[in-house]
A and B are shown apart, each in its own frame.
Chain A
Amino acid sequence: MSALEAFKTEVGEFLDKNCPDSMRQPMKAEDDAYWGGRNGTFKSDDQKQWFEAMAAKGWTTPEWPTEYGGGGLSKDEARILKKEMAKRKCRNPLYSFGIWMLGPALLKFGSEEQKKKYLPEIAAGKIRWCQGYSEPNAGSDLASLATSATSVGDNYIVNGQKVWTSYADQSDMIFALTRTSSDGKKQQGISFLLIDMALEGVSTRPIKLISGKSPFCETFFDNVKVPKANLIGTEGGGWSVAKYLLTHEREMIGETTDPDAMVPLNVSAKDYIGVGADGKLADPVMRKEIAEWEIDGAGFLFTLARMKDEMKAGQPIGAKSSFLKYYGTELNKKKYELHLTNKGLDSLGWDGEQYEEGKLARMFCRTKGNSIEGGTSEVQLNIISKRILELPSE
């Protein structure tokens, strides 16, 4: 037996033993996800047991080095763990922007001291992080952000406002882009700061969306005193950290498949629209639209697989992540349009048990944000034009 096969057996046995049955069911409510943090609470004993077993192994962050609280697994081992978890339908034991976003940036740009301090806390789910990038006047044009960090002795004094800070009201720390200088190119005066949300002068306010309640917040900084030790990378070097992190985020959004596992379009169409004597969908226009979507959907999945294979073969993904983000989010929006057409008026119920509290209608509304957050579709097309096709700037 090869080492990898042995590892696969070991993982299988561990998961069988430590992942309770209730943690192998699809999540039903938002609070089924465990996000950790200073105030994190477990919804059930099973959830606690499953999280603790995985955290003890470092498998909340399988590929991070063990000295930073990770599992120290190789790429192949991590792949096996992922596969074995998927096979058993194991839930993700820890949801965390610290793992998905900040961690990779810290590993690349953090000092040894910073890595030792923050990474183990992230892996162990002790600190919950949120992201402070966008501002009311800095959306697609993120580099024009204005939240200021003024150097005073060993501290920065931070003033300004962030927006779209997901779960800021429940987070312990925020990683934020701040302006430390207004000289030169606007990208050059940006610094990447870690800020404790418990500090005096930090406040948050939730944002309601067209879909209703949302995890998004506005976050305000009023003379917040942040130690200079919390600067990641160099002063004025925050833009590179942010770009690196956004690439990660784009890949993730592009790859995100339907978390609510809606029934396939053609199945719901048959249920709601019906089929004719020839076995074909009774609405030929929908039949065409659905077939087109399903071909594009399959093509997109094959493309994700192909790009992974190309990466394995040593071709970096680079700006192609913009293509994945653009195409994946546009497909998702289109899918919900088709779901609405399939169900007709029944899709539009907003409240009440009959309409699952407006689940479909609200999810439909929410998808409109897919092509805005994490860089709009238009920004992705700009990136493809400039970086892949190398078309000139005006």
Chain B
Amino acid sequence: MGLVITEEQGLLKESARDYLKENASIALMRKLRDENDENRYSPTVWSTMAEMGWAGLIIPEAYGGMGFEYVGMGQLLEETGRSLTSSPLLSSALISATLINLAGDQLQKEKYLAAIAEGKIISLASEEVSHHNPSHVQLAAKSDGDGFTLTGKKNYVLDGQVADHYIVSARTSEDDNSMKGISLFIVPSDASGITKTNATLMDSRVCAHLSFENVKVSQAQLLGDLDKGYKPLQKTLDIAAIGISAELLGIIQESFERTISYLKERRQFDKIIGSFQALQHRAAEMYCQIEICKSLVIKALQGIDEDSFMLPALSSMAKAKCSKVAQLVTNEGVQMFGGIGMTDDEDIGLYLKRARVAMELYGNYNYHLDRFATLNAY
């Protein structure tokens, strides 16, 4: 496979861009924010996305999905990065669909994958602390006759405020930081004993902190094998990091293009500021870094579809580089827009704020740099 998207993937990307521009642009994001919408996403937009097949894009046709490649999903995420569209595309359609497909049994796949494809929202509840650390699981699942009882906390659950179900990573044996002894459960969000608190982050999006108090779950709600949840979880998180890298790539390109346009129109000292070499070289440097990001993202997306043994390294490379370059490009964007870049009226700052959240999700720069070195045995 060449490192280019297929014609079909290209068409998907174009139609996504057109749709988002018309229906889920920054204007919508500002409206949800300024009206202090509780959930900060548009159910109408999401149900249209589901109708267009986005919610089930990577779900096999046998379970009601489109059976498309992850490269295609990457194009959608890139476009939602450009348009700053908040939706459960990442949390439910990419992450939870991937995990259920990897770990679920036949019945679970039939039930939950079909639900995701229809636009129902399932969120992964795996983070407990402020830094990504998937093997750190304190939330306990105690065996309880024919089922389990969950007690503990999960934080920063994406779309947790509107999810129908959660996939919860829970400790069933071993100590709090072991990769062994982690099990996954699918739990309805309205189960008795779950308390949720909404948290609004810098990007004006909302996620949920969850508290579990003796939440009863049955054996049938166990996703995959008891004590063996880490393996599918880690692979899903690799894919999640690639998905968020694709979104970052969209954020990077859009903020870069907006900055370049601004350099071509803003005048100071009787000159277009884009004619100053001090700015030109910084712009050209960003262009180069973005080219590297594009290659790492497409390579990583293809790595998912090819089930490459390099997937963990490809994922960490993409997330580390895209995080670093997103930091560079959004900082330079605000700087080059100057005073106007500091104002809320100008959009460039919105990209900076979304980038900071996306950079942190599923492992920040430091996490993935460390992981890349570890994967390469140094």
Q: In the assembled complex, which residues on chain A have CB atoms less than 8 Å from the CB atom of B309? A: none
A294 to B274, CA, bound (A): 33
Q: In the assembled complex, which residues on chain B have CB atoms less than 8 Å from the CB atom of A38? A: none
A 261-304 binary contact with B (CB < 8 Å = 1; else 0): 00000100110000100011100000110111011101110110
A4 interfacial contact with B, CB 8 Å: no
* Contact status A394-B4, CB under 8 Å: no
Question: Given A295-B320, A299-B321, A381-B284, does the pair A391, B295 have CB atoms closer than 8 Å?
Answer: no
Residue of A280, A299, A378 touching B292 (CB-CB under 8 A): A299
* Contact status B373-A302, CB under 8 Å: no
Q: In the assembled complex, which residues on chain B have CB atoms less than 8 Å from the CB atom of A185? A: none
B2 interfacial contact with A, CB 8 Å: yes
User: CB-nearest residue of chain A relative to B286?
Assistant: A389
A392 to B320, CA, bound (A): 33
Interface of A (DSSP majority class): helix
B77 interfacial contact with A, CB 8 Å: no
Q: In the assembled complex, which residues on chain A have CB atoms less than 8 Å from the CB atom of B317? A: 295, 298-299
**Known A270-B378, A327-B291, A382-B280; 6 more pairs at CB < 8 Å:** A266-B376, A295-B369, A305-B3, A327-B288, A389-B287, A393-B275
28 contacts between A and B (CB under 8 A): A275-B378, A279-B374, A287-B373, A290-B378, A294-B372, A295-B321, A295-B369, A296-B292, A298-B296, A299-B292, A299-B293, A299-B317, A302-B3, A302-B299, A303-B291, A305-B3, A306-B3, A309-B3, A326-B288, A327-B292, A378-B281, A381-B280, A381-B281, A381-B284, A382-B277, A389-B283, A389-B284, A391-B263
* Contact status A385-B295, CB under 8 Å: no
User: CB-nearest residue of chain B relative to A313?
Assistant: B4
Least CB distance, A363 to chain B, in whole angstroms: 23
B 29-48 binary contact with A (CB < 8 Å = 1; else 0): 00000000000000000000
A87 interfacial contact with B, CB 8 Å: no
Q: In the assembled complex, which residues on chain A have CB atoms less than 8 Å from the CB atom of B283? A: 385, 389, 391
Q: How many A-B pairs fall under 8 Å by CB?
A: 123
A384 interfacial contact with B, CB 8 Å: yes
User: CB-nearest residue of chain B relative to A270?
Assistant: B378
Select the residue from A280, A320, A385, A390 with max chain B CB neighbours within 10 A. Answer: A385
A288 to B276, CA, bound (A): 34
Least CB distance, B23 to chain A, in whole angstroms: 30
A389 to B293, CA, bound (A): 17
A252 to B123, CA, bound (A): 49
Least CB distance, A295 to chain B, in whole angstroms: 5
* Contact status B274-A392, CB under 8 Å: yes
A32 interfacial contact with B, CB 8 Å: no
List B339-378 residues whose CB lies under 8 Å from chain A: 369-370, 372-374, 376-378
Least CB distance, A394 to chain B, in whole angstroms: 4
A309 to B1, CA, bound (A): 9
Chain A residues within 8 Å of B, Cβ to Cβ: 266, 269-270, 275, 279-281, 287-288, 290-292, 294-296, 298-300, 302-303, 305-306, 309-310, 312-313, 320, 323, 326-327, 378, 380-382, 384-386, 388-394
* Contact status B2-A313, CB under 8 Å: yes
A298 to B297, CA, bound (A): 12
* Contact status A299-B3, CB under 8 Å: no
Question: Given A270-B378, A275-B378, does the pair A392, B321 have CB atoms closer than 8 Å?
Answer: no
* Contact status A266-B373, CB under 8 Å: yes
Question: Given A269-B378, A392-B274, does the pair A384, B287 have CB atoms closer than 8 Å?
Answer: yes
A269 to B377, CA, bound (A): 12
B 260-297 binary contact with A (CB < 8 Å = 1; else 0): 10011000000110111101110111011001111110
User: CB-nearest residue of chain B relative to A273?
Assistant: B378
Least CB distance, B239 to chain A, in whole angstroms: 18
User: CB-nearest residue of chain B relative to A266?
Assistant: B378
A384 to B283, CA, bound (A): 9
Least CB distance, B212 to chain A, in whole angstroms: 33
Task: In the A-B complex, list the 8 residue pairs whose CB atoms are closest, starting with the nearest.
Answer: A309-B2, A385-B280, A302-B295, A306-B3, A384-B284, A299-B292, A381-B284, A303-B295
User: CB-nearest residue of chain A relative to B257?
Assistant: A389
Q: In the assembled complex, which residues on chain A have CB atoms less than 8 Å from the CB atom of B291? A: 303, 320, 323, 327
A9 to B275, CA, bound (A): 56
Least CB distance, A388 to chain B, in whole angstroms: 6
Q: In the assembled complex, which residues on chain A have CB atoms less than 8 Å from the CB atom of B320? A: 291, 295
Question: Given A296-B292, A306-B298, does the pair A288, B369 have CB atoms closer than 8 Å?
Answer: yes
Select the residue from B264, B279, B280 with max chain A CB neighbours within 10 A. Answer: B280
Least CB distance, B322 to chain A, in whole angstroms: 10
A295 to B298, CA, bound (A): 15
A287 to B271, CA, bound (A): 45
Q: In the assembled complex, which residues on chain B have CB atoms less than 8 Å from the CB atom of A310? A: 4
Least CB distance, B269 to chain A, in whole angstroms: 10
A385 to B369, CA, bound (A): 30
Select the residue from B272, B284, B369, B377 with max chain A CB neighbours within 10 A. Answer: B284
B 317-332 binary contact with A (CB < 8 Å = 1; else 0): 1001100000000000
Least CB distance, A282 to chain B, in whole angstroms: 10
Least CB distance, A308 to chain B, in whole angstroms: 8
* Contact status B4-A392, CB under 8 Å: no
A275 to B376, CA, bound (A): 13
Least CB distance, A281 to chain B, in whole angstroms: 5
Q: In the assembled complex, which residues on chain B have CB atoms less than 8 Å from the CB atom of A390? A: 264
Least CB distance, B120 to chain A, in whole angstroms: 37
User: CB-nearest residue of chain A relative to B324?
Assistant: A292
Q: In the assembled complex, which residues on chain B have CB atoms less than 8 Å from the CB atom of A327? A: 288, 291-292
A305 to B320, CA, bound (A): 21
Q: In the assembled complex, which residues on chain A have CB atoms less than 8 Å from the CB atom of B373? A: 266, 280-281, 287-288, 290-291
* Contact status A391-B264, CB under 8 Å: yes
A303 to B3, CA, bound (A): 9
Q: In the assembled complex, which residues on chain B have CB atoms less than 8 Å from the CB atom of A305? A: 3, 295
A309 to B2, CA, bound (A): 6
A66 to B284, CA, bound (A): 42
A34 to B81, CA, bound (A): 53
Q: In the assembled complex, which residues on chain B have CB atoms less than 8 Å from the CB atom of A326? A: 284, 288
